[in-house]
Amino acid sequence: MGERKVLNKYYPHDFDPSKVPRRRRHMNEQTKVRTMLPMTVRCGACGEYLGRGTKFNARMEDVPGERYLGTIRVFRFYIKCSRCSAEIAFKTDPRNSGYALESGATATRGDLLVDADADAAAAREEEEERRRDGGGDAMAALERRARDGRREMDADAALEEARSLNARRARVAPEQALEALLCRRRRSSSQAKTTQEQEQDADEALVRSIRFRNSAGYVKRIEEDDDREEEEVFTASLPKTMADNQAHKNKEEKKRRQAPVVVVSKRRCVPTVPADGKSHDGGHHADKSEGKASAGDTEANSGALQ
């Protein structure tokens, strides 16, 4: 099976590859490759649709005279229709990052890779590149090259620094790195502790400098005028209110005791008839007695109200 698949070759002990002549290749020589359709196309001869991703044995060649940006080559592929064997040709399109159909078929609307928008975008890119180049100005191109050179030098310096740092880290053992980390942590913790102690000492000194009333060295100063005023205000506020309440209560009780109490008994007046049988004064006496009784009732009612 090895000789059938040509996986192994026998090379004799006296084989010298330098003596084997190299075959000269032509410039436009075609190469057979296995490729896939980059788009869905319709054959121009029979109308058969060839779907995207269909595999074909194609012939590839370098398109002479076509270079994108002067360095990128353009390749052309030739395939045959699976129904009528008509030849279909398409090529790479580096400017639009795709493929362009040349002959033998037509691409569907959804798979057209080269359109007016793409051409406009390519034109804008070329114009931008021309503007960056300075539009043919030699001084502008020189300045741009000098700027690019400085940028490359800065990038090389940063890369060299990163390499030296990596080399230094590679020479350090893991135990040494851990020890250095622990020492740094201890140093930072000791510094933090020292700072905290200094802050505590400053707070204690501030507290000791303040004199409170219950401290040993506190000197109490008495101001007679202020104490007298405070005492007068205190005595005038609370006891005065209590005395006023008590005096008001005593006054009310005294009024109730001095109020006269009148007790009136209601008795029915009986008219008396004199011996002469005349009773003209009897009516008058009865009216007086009734008037007195009504007056007594009024006084009794007023006394009861009081």
Exposure of 9 in the CB half-sphere (CA atoms within 13 A): 4
164 vs 158, 159, 170, 180, 295, CA distance in Å? 10, 9, 10, 20, 131
Share of the chain above pLDDT 70, in %: 62
Per-residue model confidence as pLDDT tens digits over 229-248: 666 666 555 544 566 677 77
pLDDT at residue 186, rounded to an integer: 86
CA–CA distance, 248 with 268 (Å, rounded to integer): 44
Greater confidence, 80 or 28? 80
pLDDT at 221 over 70: no
CA–CA distance, 85 with 79 (Å, rounded to integer): 9
Per-residue model confidence as pLDDT tens digits over 170-197: 887 778 778 888 888 888 888 888 888 8
pLDDT at residue 71, rounded to an integer: 86
Per-residue model confidence as pLDDT tens digits over 265-301: 556 555 555 555 554 444 444 444 444 444 445 544 4
Helix (H, G, I), strand (E, B) or coil at 9: coil
Structure tokens at 124: 């804008």
pLDDT at residue 33, rounded to an integer: 93
pLDDT at residue 116, rounded to an integer: 46
**Overall pTM surpassing 0.75 (yes/no):** no
CB 39 within 8 A of CB 113: yes
User: Max alpha carbon distance in the chain (Å)?
Assistant: 200
CA–CA distance, 101 with 112 (Å, rounded to integer): 9
Greater confidence, 121 or 41? 41
CB 255 within 8 A of CB 247: no
Helix (H, G, I), strand (E, B) or coil at 31: strand
pLDDT at residue 276, rounded to an integer: 53
pLDDT at residue 66, rounded to an integer: 87
pLDDT band at 4 (very low <50, low <70, confident <90, very high): low
Q: List all residues 6 or more positions away from 114 whose beta carbon is below 8 Å from its beta carbon.
A: 93, 96, 98, 100
Per-residue model confidence as pLDDT tens digits over 149-168: 898 999 999 999 998 888 88
70 vs 14, 66, 95, 102, 268, CA distance in Å? 45, 8, 12, 22, 151
Q: List all residues 6 or more positions away from 291 whose beta carbon is below 8 Å from its beta carbon.
A: none
pLDDT band at 210 (very low <50, low <70, confident <90, very high): confident
Average pLDDT, the chain: 75
Under the phi-then-psi rule, with left for phi > 0, alpha for psi from -120 to 50, and beta for the rest, what region is 103? beta
CA–CA distance, 68 with 74 (Å, rounded to integer): 7
The pLDDT of 213-229, averaged and rounded, is: 60
The pLDDT of 87-95, averaged and rounded, is: 92
pLDDT at residue 114, rounded to an integer: 46
- Return the ∠ at Cα 194 (arms to 189 and 199), rounded to 5°: 125
CB 254 within 8 A of CB 292: no
Residue ranges per structural domain of the chain: 28-117, 173-210
pLDDT at residue 212, rounded to an integer: 63
The pLDDT of 196-208, averaged and rounded, is: 84
CA–CA distance, 121 with 104 (Å, rounded to integer): 27
CA–CA distance, 230 with 222 (Å, rounded to integer): 13
